[in-house]
Structures are given as structure tokens and as C-alpha cells.
Structure 1
Amino acid sequence: MAPTTVTSPAPVRAAKPWYKVLYIQVLIAIVLGALVGTYFQHFATSDWIKALGDGFIKLIKMVIAPIIFCTVVSGISHIQDAKKVG
């Protein structure tokens, strides 16, 4: 008599709660932003919001150059055969 192997079913993944799904969070943030912009317009003219926005733009500008540099260096370093490049 040949031994039989018993296989257990694959574990079932529990579904994520709806509030932990990224696109749901983004949609909620868009709706909240529209509501705050509509009903609390004085927030848009406050100095701390302007400072926060200006700081965010400066941070984005600061990150662009290193990302481009790293992308170019990584692309060059992954070239196996220089004759293929031209």
C-alpha cells in the first residue's frame, strides 16, 4: 500500500479593510480637499499654508537632480556590451 500525502488547502488571505486601500484613501483626500476649499476658503490665504506649499515645492526641486543623476549612472553601469550602445 502506497503512502498517501495529505495536502492542506492554501491559506485564505483576509481582505483588507476598505479604509486601508490606497486608492480609497486618495479619493477620500480629494473629496475632503474639495470640501475644505469650498467651505473654508480663508485657509488658502493663510501664511502658514503658503509657507507649507513653498517648502513642498522646494523639496521637490531639491530631489529632482539626484534622481536624474542616479538614473543616468545606473543606466550606464548596467551596460554589458558597449558596442551595442553605438
Structure 2
Amino acid sequence: MQRLYKSLFGQVVIGLILGIIVGVLYPKFGESMKPLGDGFIKLVKMIIPMIVFCVVVQGIYGAGELKKVGRVGLKALIYFEVVTAIALALGLLLAFVFHPGAGMNIDVGALDASSLSNYVATANKVRGTGFGNFVMKIIPDTVVSAFTS
């Protein structure tokens, strides 16, 4: 039993079970813990680009021969180009078949800008939603986005 809660898997399972118990027995308290879970998810998403970069660098380093890395890179580039061309052709084909936006006949100059006031008012209400939302906006999406945005 002691080995279970020392392993990462065991800790995740115990946390999952405790979360279910809190959600069933104390739903209001569980709802108040939402910013904690959102913050954890945001922190995990923040480090994913760095993990991917390190895995790619390690893979290139571990490949050994530069020729092998070049062949893999060339195959990846060809695969990317072929799949992108297929996606582009499919998108164009579907646009010609279904004609998205046809028949709407909207004159942008004739639109009433005051009709957007409800959306602006809602956005202003959402802006001040409390401490949890404030903390979520402080945590950057990626490690470098704190410097870039």
C-alpha cells in the first residue's frame, strides 16, 4: 500500500478518487476548486512546447549519422507537403461543390454597428469575473509567451 501512494500513477488514482468523492458529497466546494484544476491544466500546456523541442533535439542527437537525420527530415518534409496539398485540394473541391456563403448577399456598409452593443456589454461583464479568472490570465500559455505577448 505504501508503494502505491509513492508512485505517480498511485497519486493520480488517489487524486481522481478524492475528486470524485468531493464532487459527489460537496459539489459547491468542488466547483470552487475549478481555478486550481484550470491552473494545473494551463501549467501543463505551458511546458508542452519545451518538452516537444527537447524530444526532437534528443531524437536528432540520438540518430547518430547526419545522413540518417537528413533522410528522416526529407521524408517528413515530403510527407508534410503531400498531406498539405491533399488538404488544400479537398478544401477547394468542397468549396466548389457546396459554395459556402452563396446567397447571403450582405452589404457590409449597410450593417448596423449598434446591434453589436449587446455583445460588447457581455464582454465587459465577463472581463471582471473574479480572482480565479485573474489568476488564469497571469499564467502564460507557453514558457516563452510571457516574453512574446
**TM-score (normalised: structure 2):** 0.38
Q: Secondary structure at the match of 1:80?
A: coil
- Other-structure match for 1:13: none
Change (3 A) 1:26 1:40: same
Structure 2 residue 51 is the aligned partner of structure 1 residue 67: yes
- Other-structure match for 1:42: 28
Runs of 5+ consecutive residues of structure 1 not aligned to the other structure:
1-17
- Other-structure match for 1:55: 39
Q: How far apart, in 2, do the equivalents of 1:80 and 1:24 lie?
A: 37
Change (3 A) 1:52 1:38: same
Higher relative contact order (CA 8 A, sep 6+): 2
Q: How far apart, in 2, do the equivalents of 1:60 and 1:24 lie?
A: 19
Structure 2 residue 15 is the aligned partner of structure 1 residue 32: no
Change (3 A) 1:32 1:52: closer
Comparing 22-31 with 71-80, which one deviates more in the overlay? 22-31
Q: Cα RMSD between the aligned structures?
A: 2.2
Structure 2 residue 79 is the aligned partner of structure 1 residue 84: no
Runs of 5+ consecutive residues of structure 2 not aligned to the other structure:
72-149
**1:44 is aligned with what amino acid?**
G
Of structures 1 and 2, the larger Rg is shown by 1
**TM-score (normalised: structure 1):** 0.59
Structure 1's consecutive aligned runs of 4 or more residues displaced over 6 angstroms after TM superposition are none
* Number of residue pairs aligned between Structure 1 and Structure 2: 67
**2:41 is aligned with what amino acid?**
I
**1:51 is aligned with what amino acid?**
P
Contact 1:37 1:44 in 2 (8 A): yes
